[in-house]
Structure 1
Amino acid sequence: MPSTPVVVDAAVVLLGATVTTITHPLLYVKLLIQVAGPTDRIYRDETFEVGHEPLPPAVGSTMLGRPVLYLPGFFSYAQYVLRVDGKLGLFRGLSPRIASSTISTLVRGKIEWTSHDMIFRCLSRVATHPFHVMSVRCMAQFVGRETKYSGVFSCIMTIFKEEGLSGFYTGFVPHVLGEVLFLWCCNLLAYLINTYAVDHSFSQASTLRNYTKFVMSITLRVLTYPFTLVADVMAVNNCGLAAGLPPRFPVFTSWLHCWNHLSTECQLFRGSRLFFRRVPVTLPPSVED
């Protein structure tokens, strides 16, 4: 019996929800690392403890034998969450992520890599970003042990009551800019490589072209990561959670303010690595007489 479009869509949505559930602990730990930081910094004559590192760094060494301090990686962080919140604690903020994944899957399943892809993906981000904000705030509550945000409907009521519609789109601009930049660069570089770098007489040229965009997507995801970080930090900034308030973060006036702050602290790629996280080496702040 042939599958109907409804059955196919339902299967794709179910698969997406399953993958989202399985990978959620990874995203959860990554988010906690994003709103965390290893050291104290000086910011506008005030001391800000940049983030939340619940576990002390461990002494290790590089391949050359030089001693270094390693911050807790995914497994150490996940074990700590398990000790504090139990197994279900690793799935904080899952329900908004499943809702976001479902909407994104349904929208993106109807489009291809065309000139209109940018428009549809931006519209998809408009529809799913509120759920992203809810999920990020639910997960960030671990830092201050709050219970302000719980289920989807509770999050909607809380955000709308305190911040209005704009609260659902905090961090939206850097998120969509990062995605637009990623799509344009990925398509442009793949086109240039396939057109000018791949020898058309090569027997495996067609196979090589199929992998070009995949390789470009991995590389460009790393390069556009700061946009994702800024979007996540802005989603929790000044929303009443300890993870987004002093002394962990200053109250940002805009996402550019957040970007400049993280750039100054050399923290624009914080959370991009879940393993072998080193304590950054920083110079002490200068003291003027």
Structure 2
Amino acid sequence: MIPPCPAFGVLWLPADSALVFSYPARHIVEVDGKRGLFRGLTPRLVSSTLSTITRGSVKKAFPLEDMEHVSNKDDVKTSLRKVVKETSHEMMMQCMSRVVSHPLHVISMRCMVQFVGREVKYNGVLSAIGRILKEEGILGFFVGLVPHILGDVIFLWCCNLLAHFINTYAVDDNVSAKAAGFLCFQIAVSMLTYPFLLVGDLMAVNNCGLRAGLPPYAPAFTSWIHCWRHLSAQGQLFRGSSLLFRRAPIPAACFPID
């Protein structure tokens, strides 16, 4: 038995490889068999494929050869202007690929959370598309899109600008040191933008007819901002963000964790 450690309004459960990694997978295998570990895989693969194709199409329509690249000979203002231009181009590709692939991401998320309520509402990509169209209309494919795009855009701009400033102003010209510094900043930025991804995924399954998206498992949110405020009030905007710790609401302290 591992006693939970209360901190900052949530429970931080000590990292244990068997607890953090083996238990969830083992539980799924016990209930659904090994096949249960691959729920939502097909729409996820289709989503990734659509994203890659879209990015390639945008890159062909707006080739990088037509853009100015940052050079060591550029002054500060010129190099910054080029970074902004390149990042804007990347942002356009990322946003378009996200819009195109998001419907399949929604289907993938719903296929996975069916495990909670033991439902079989979403069995395949085509049947899921038909069901969402029938029950929610075209907008049902884009629930949770806004926070995902915001997270992508913030992450992209922060990383590119940080990389530019590290390369421009870092005193140490050691490439390894710069790479290590950028990696640390990238991890920090990913933590900063994690709540956007969490809210987007929660909205994708909220109030869609699955038990995992309905009370008592989750409130029926009216918008992603409502979801954000609820998680913020509960201190759970970063739940699931760490591989080393698990977080649970304070009431869970009443129950031992084996």
TM-based fold match above 0.5? yes
Q: In 2 relative to 1, CA 61–232 (structure 1 residues): closer, same or farther, beyond 3 Å?
A: closer
Shift of the alpha carbon at 1:276?
Answer: 3.2
Deviation per CA, 1:76-111: give whole Å up to 9, x if none: 010000000000000000000000111222334564
Amino acid at match of 1:76: Y
- The count of corresponding residues between Structure 1 and Structure 2 is 218
Is 1:74–1:275's contact at 8 Å kept on the other side of the alignment?
no
Shift of the alpha carbon at 1:281?
Answer: 4.2
State the match for 1:96 in structure 2.
Answer: 43
Could you say which structure has the higher helix fraction? 2
Alpha-carbon distance between aligned partners in 2 of 1:268 and 1:278, rounded to the nearest angstrom = 11
Shift of the alpha carbon at 1:213?
Answer: 4.2
State the match for 1:137 in structure 2.
Answer: 110
Please say if 1:221 is aligned against 2:190. yes
Deviation per CA, 1:151-170: give whole Å up to 9, x if none: 11011001011001000000
Alpha-carbon distance between aligned partners in 2 of 1:172 and 1:278, rounded to the nearest angstrom = 25
Deviation per CA, 1:238-282: give whole Å up to 9, x if none: 000000001111111100000000000001011112443254547
Shift of the alpha carbon at 1:132?
Answer: 0.5
Is 1:60–1:69's contact at 8 Å kept on the other side of the alignment?
no
Alpha-carbon distance between aligned partners in 2 of 1:164 and 1:87, rounded to the nearest angstrom = 34
Please say if 1:152 is aligned against 2:125. yes
State the match for 2:75 in structure 1.
Answer: none
Deviation per CA, 1:25-60: give whole Å up to 9, x if none: xxxxxxxxxxxxxxxxxxxxxxxxxxxxxxxxx424
Match 2:24 to one of 70, 77, 97:
77
State the match for 1:260 in structure 2.
Answer: 229
Alpha-carbon distance between aligned partners in 2 of 1:163 and 1:279, rounded to the nearest angstrom = 32
Alpha-carbon distance between aligned partners in 1 of 2:187 and 2:204, rounded to the nearest angstrom = 25
Alpha-carbon distance between aligned partners in 2 of 1:83 and 1:193, rounded to the nearest angstrom = 49
Aligned pairs for 1:112-261 (under 5 A) are: 114=86, 115-199=88-172, 202=173, 204=174, 206-210=175-179, 212-261=181-230
Is 1:73–1:274's contact at 8 Å kept on the other side of the alignment?
yes
After TM superposition, the structure 1 stretch with the greater mean CA deviation from structure 2, 105-114 or 172-181, is 105-114
Alpha-carbon distance between aligned partners in 2 of 1:179 and 1:139, rounded to the nearest angstrom = 23
Q: What TM-score, normalized to structure 1?
A: 0.69
Is 2:116–2:212's contact at 8 Å kept on the other side of the alignment?
yes
Shift of the alpha carbon at 1:219?
Answer: 2.1
Please say if 1:271 is aligned against 2:237. no
Is 2:43–2:125's contact at 8 Å kept on the other side of the alignment?
yes
Alpha-carbon distance between aligned partners in 1 of 2:181 and 2:242, rounded to the nearest angstrom = 24
Q: Secondary structure at the match of 2:13?
A: strand
Amino acid at match of 1:241: L
Q: Secondary structure at the match of 1:250?
A: coil
Q: In 2 relative to 1, CA 278–116 (structure 1 residues): closer, same or farther, beyond 3 Å?
A: closer
State the match for 2:2 in structure 1.
Answer: 59
Structure 2 spans left out of the alignment, 5+ residues: 6-10, 65-82, 252-258
Identity %: 56
Amino acid at match of 1:255: W
Shift of the alpha carbon at 1:61?
Answer: 7.5
Shift of the alpha carbon at 1:75?
Answer: 1.3
Structure 1 spans left out of the alignment, 5+ residues: 1-57, 63-67, 283-289
Shift of the alpha carbon at 1:192?
Answer: 1.5
Aligned pairs for 1:13-92 (under 5 A) are: 58-60=1-3, 70=13, 72-92=19-39
